[in-house]
Chain A
């Protein structure tokens, strides 16, 4: 069975550009999470979907970040316009029910120059 997959694995963009990250959760997992690790810091929660609904977006840094999960399957996280401080590794995770088993994707390493 495929795990959580994320695309792209790496992205280098210029400040001011737009980038869209994609996450495909494990099939059947209603819960989908986005996390981010900026260099030297701990992994931080961004938001949580249950199916297509945003359950908690308290971790989203600002309105330059937009997450969607149309149809309750894959999710996208768009950063527009990107700033230097957005650089980091963006992880997606999914779980069937509770947090007991949250599986992470390999992450997208975003570099804004």
Chain B
């Protein structure tokens, strides 16, 4: 079983739509959680960290459910520029390395 599982998509949505991605992780010792964004043939870039209480950054909202070992990312009012692959990333307590999911591809169309 993979340590971090994501639906690969693609999610094809029109501009202005709301879209949600889910991610599950297998290691209950996971301590830190992130969403990264990766454009085609580019490097991953940190989109946002995910906190236990949930957090919001503009049109993006991240939620964490430790009991279910589940992380989500909600994007409201999708823009064409949101088209990318979204990577769910965790790290375990005491381990200074990132464990990546395979990513969920989002395509926003006019």
Report A's interface with B, CB cutoff 8 A: 4, 31, 33, 35, 41-45, 48, 55-56, 59, 91, 98-107
Contacts and interface: CB of A to CB of B under 8 A. Distances in A.
Given A42-B4, A42-B102, A42-B103, A99 B96 contact: yes
Contact of A31 (B34, B43, B96): B96
A102 B99 CA distance: 13
Contacts of A55: 96
Nearest to B2: A42
B105 to A, nearest CB: 13
A79 to B, nearest CB: 20
B44 interface: yes
A33 to B, nearest CB: 7
Given A33-B98, A104-B44, 12 more contacts: A45-B98, A48-B96, A56-B95, A56-B96, A98-B32, A99-B34, A99-B96, A99-B98, A102-B46, A103-B46, A105-B43, A106-B43
Contacts of B2: 42
